[in-house]
Copies of this chain bind each other. A is one copy, B any other.
Amino acid sequence: MPPVASTATAPQRFAIIAGNGRLPLVLAERAAVAPDRAVHIIGIAGEADPEIARYPHSWIKWGELGRLFRVLEAENMTDLVIVGGVTRPDLANVRLDFGAITNLPFILGLMQQGGDDGVLGSLVRFFEGRGYRVRGVHEVAPDLIARSGGLTRLLPDDQDLSDIAKARAVLASLGPHDVGQCVAVDRNRVLAIEAAEGTDRMLNRVVEISHWGTRGRGRRRGVAVKSAKPDQELRVDMPAIGPRTVELVAEAGLKGLAIEAGRVLVIDEERVRALADAADVFVFGF
For the complex, is A193 an interface residue (Cβ under 8 Å from B)?
Answer: yes
A213 contact from B88, B183, B192, B212, Cβ within 8 A: B88
The interface centre, meaning the residue of A111, A183, A196, A210 with most chain B CB atoms within 10 A of its CB, is A196
Residue in B87, B114, B173, B212 whose CB lies within 8 Å of A189: B114
Cβ A212 vs Cβ B88 within 8 A: yes
Once the chains are docked, how many angstroms separate the CA of A209 from the CA of B50?
A: 24
Distance in Å: Cβ of A198 to nearest Cβ of chain B: 9
B-contact 0/1 string along A73-89, CB 8 Å cutoff: 00000000000000111
The reply to whether B177 and A213 form a contact with Cβ atoms under 8 Å apart is no
Q: In angstroms, how far is the closest chain B Cβ from the Cβ of A141? A: 28
**Chain B residue contacts of A154, Cβ below 8 A:** none
Q: A90-B214, A212-B88 are in contact. Are A193 and B173 (CB under 8 A)?
A: no
Q: A193 to B176, alpha carbons, bound, how many Å? A: 15
Q: Which residue of B lies closest to A108 (CB)?
A: B213
Expressed in whole angstroms, the Cα–Cα distance for A196 and B193 within the complex equals 9
Q: Are B179 and A215 in contact (CB under 8 A)?
A: no
Residues of B within 8 A of A209 (CB): 196-197
Closest to A222 in B: B114
Task: Name A92's contact: one of B178, B188, B217 (CB within 8 Å).
Answer: B217
Residues of B within 8 A of A201 (CB): 205, 208
Query: Inside 8 A of A7's CB, which chain B residues have their CB?
Result: none
Assess the A189–B116 pair: CB atoms within 8 A: yes
Q: Is A35 an interface residue (CB 8 A)?
A: no
A149 to B100 Cα, complex, angstroms = 44
Instruction: State which of B88, B184, B192 has its C-beta within 8 Å of the C-beta of A211.
Output: B88
Cβ distance A103 to chain B, nearest Cβ, rounded Å: 16
- Least Cβ–Cβ distance between A271 and chain B, in angstroms: 28
Q: Does A174 interact with chain B (Cβ within 8 Å)? A: yes
Q: Does A37 contact B (CB under 8 A)?
A: no
Inter-subunit contact B195/A179 (CB<8 Å):
no
* Beta-carbon contact of A196 and B192 below 8 Å: yes
Q: Are A192 and B188 in contact, with the CB atoms below 8 A?
A: no
Quick one: given A90-B215, A111-B213, A116-B189, are A176 and B173 in contact (CB under 8 Å)?
A: yes
B residues within 8 A CB of A104? none
Residues of A within 8 A of B (CB): 87-92, 111-116, 166, 169-170, 173-174, 176-180, 183-193, 195-197, 201, 205, 208-217
Some 11 contacts from A to B, beta carbons below 8 A apart, are A88-B213, A90-B214, A90-B216, A92-B213, A92-B217, A114-B187, A170-B174, A178-B189, A190-B196, A197-B205, A201-B208
